[in-house]
A and B are shown apart, each in its own frame.
Chain A
Amino acid sequence: MQQLVSTNAPPKLELGISAGLQVFACPKEFIGAVIMVDAIQQVPASPDYVLGATPIDEQMYTLVDLEKLSGGAAKGATSSTSDSSVGLVVSHPDCYPIILVGQSAVSLDDNSTCIWKSFKLPAAFNKHGTEELEFTFVKAN
């Protein structure tokens, strides 16, 4: 598994996104923007956790429903993620352009009271290999 580790050591602040009952954190340096998700287009033959795609700057960004990806929503069930959801636009040279979709974006630091976790993206999003991509970071002491 390929780890996409933040080079901030230790990070002072990360961005997280709440999806279902969980908050997923992503190293801030990989986040290009926080957007409201709209204008979703269907992606053919895509799995349950792909909500669709949207164009940004003439590039296709795949919308990933983190709640479904993490198994937080039963297969086939409606996720709590909706058209009015928030997305973290992820830019990383090893990852296809994606938007992590959840209910809201949150700032995470040492004082955050919520329980936040790293997450893995399926190998389909790895531009250069066949391994899963794990978004992780070191929590500040």
Chain B
Amino acid sequence: MTTSPLSVITFTCNGYHLAVDSNFVERLTKGQKTGSQLNRKGMSIGLYQLNDEEWKVVELLGETSVGKTISIIILRNPENDSLLALQSDSIDQLRHQIQVQDSPVYENDISLLFSKSFVEGNTIYQLVDVSQLERRFPESANQINLGGSNKAKKDIEEIPLALNGRNWLTYGLSILHAQKRTGQFVLNGHMGEACIGLTLGHPTYASHGTEYGIEALQAIGNSQDWNGYHWESAEADAEPNISVSFDKILGELRNSPHACNN
């Protein structure tokens, strides 16, 4: 059975190549393990300290030792209002327009989480079924009130952007898109400042030097000049100069003839 193309964020976890639907991604952060709540073959739930709050974090396919600080993907299941946190060794990149395939499901609860996969290059990615994760392991849900997460003004620095790295811009935009952020993402470099305006997660405005719109976004993604960034939650006053779909924007950025490959 084939399904509609997805935008996904890929990551590694205990040597496995995994992915989650980017629509579920709330934010990316880091946390330190303080203890364990559940241990079972193939999945554990660890207790972590995240920004002065205790969170339950799902450790898929292996356990992390107490005291270790790891990258964590915060997921929101649209079927309800709880948040799930997923352990990862390293968070990789956004892939857009991914066509996933059905995979064999074996007779255990963990295998049910990996019923779809896709191939990119020479790597097979297993898509984590977020709905199944919460259905099978309800004890993994966090009921932490973030004040309506998509409306919350969380620190943009929680998106760990490796500026000037490969595909950093598509990666950052995908998170802002998932979070439905409204505001301005401002970049600083030796050559000056650039700005990307978003309305409810959709990039509507970009400027970089004398360039505007999609061309400005491409120039921002291609530049090696950036040395810092910050977020302003106020919407830009400028007239919108981007009107194409989000997937089209990601496609334009990835297909840019000058896309950096470092």
Instruction: Give Cα distance in the complex from A55 to B17, angstroms.
Output: 13
Given the complex, which residues of B lie within 8 Å of A41, measured CB to CB?
17, 123-124
Count of A-B contacts with CB under 8 A? 59
Question: Is B15 an interface residue when CB atoms closer than 8 A count as contact?
Answer: yes
Q: Chain B residues in contact with chain A, CB under 8 A? A: 15-18, 42, 60-61, 101-108, 110-111, 113-114, 117-119, 122-124, 126
Question: Is A118 an interface residue when CB atoms closer than 8 A count as contact?
Answer: no
B1 and chain A: residue at smallest CB distance: A127
B130 to chain A, nearest CB (A): 15
Task: Name the residue in A39, A41, A62 with the highest tally of chain B Cβ atoms < 10 Å from its Cβ.
Answer: A41
Question: Is A125 an interface residue when CB atoms closer than 8 A count as contact?
Answer: yes
Within 8 Å by CB of B114, from A45, A55, A125, lies A45
Within 8 Å by CB of A124, from B15, B18, B104, B119, lies B104
Instruction: Give Cα distance in the complex from A46 to B107, angstroms.
Output: 9
Instruction: Give Cα distance in the complex from A62 to B101, angstroms.
Output: 13
Count of A interface residues, CB-CB < 8 Å? 21
B111 and chain A: residue at smallest CB distance: A45
| Contact assessment for A125 and B104 in the assembled complex, using a CB-CB cutoff below 8 Å | yes
| Contact assessment for B126 and A44 in the assembled complex, using a CB-CB cutoff below 8 Å | yes
Q: Chain A residues in contact with chain B, CB under 8 A? A: 39, 41-47, 50, 53-55, 58-60, 62, 96, 122, 124-125, 127
| Contact assessment for A45 and B42 in the assembled complex, using a CB-CB cutoff below 8 Å | yes
| Contact assessment for A44 and B60 in the assembled complex, using a CB-CB cutoff below 8 Å | yes
Within 8 Å by CB of B103, from A42, A54, A58, A96, lies A96
| Contact assessment for B106 and A60 in the assembled complex, using a CB-CB cutoff below 8 Å | no
Given known A44-B61, A124-B104, contact A55–B119 (CB-CB < 8 A):
yes
A64 and chain B: residue at smallest CB distance: B104
| Contact assessment for A55 and B123 in the assembled complex, using a CB-CB cutoff below 8 Å | yes
B43 and chain A: residue at smallest CB distance: A45
| Contact assessment for B113 and A45 in the assembled complex, using a CB-CB cutoff below 8 Å | yes
Shortest Cβ-Cβ A-B pairs, 3 listed: A45-B110, A45-B111, A55-B119
| Contact assessment for A44 and B123 in the assembled complex, using a CB-CB cutoff below 8 Å | no
A105 to chain B, nearest CB (A): 23
Within 8 Å by CB of A42, from B16, B101, B106, B119, lies B16
B208 to chain A, nearest CB (A): 35
| Contact assessment for A47 and B16 in the assembled complex, using a CB-CB cutoff below 8 Å | no
| Contact assessment for A55 and B126 in the assembled complex, using a CB-CB cutoff below 8 Å | no
